Amino acid sequence: MKTGTCPKCNSKKVFCGAEIPLKKGPFGSNSIPIGLTSIAALDNYVCGECGYVERYVSNQGKLDEISRKWDTVELDEVAEK
C-alpha cells in the first residue's frame, strides 16, 4: 500500500492521510493505546477503488515505546516446522 498499489484490487488510486491535521482523530479515534497515558496516531492508506484501508504507526518514538512496553509475539512452533 505504501508503494501506491492496493494489495486487494491492484488499483493505483491509493491515498495517504499521514499529513492530515488532527491525525489522532476526535477523542483519539484514529489512534491506538500504547499504555495508560500514551496513544499513537495512525497513518491511514485508503484505496480509492475498493475502499481497503491499511494503518501504520509511523512515529519512531511511539514504535520504540511499544517495543519497550508490549509483549513480543512468540513464533508459532507449528508454523516453524
Binding footprint of Zn ion on the chain (CB under 5 A): 6, 8-9, 11, 47, 49-50, 52
| Smallest separation (angstroms) from Zn ion to the CB of 15 | 11
Residue type at 80 in one-letter notation: E
The DSSP 8-state label assigned to residue 70 in this structure reads: S
> Closer CB to Zn ion, residue 40 or residue 43?
43
Phi/psi for 42 (5° steps) reads: -110, 145
| Smallest separation (angstroms) from Zn ion to the CB of 46 | 9
- Residue 17 grid coordinates: 492521510
| Smallest separation (angstroms) from Zn ion to the CB of 31 | 24
- Residue 11 grid coordinates: 488499483
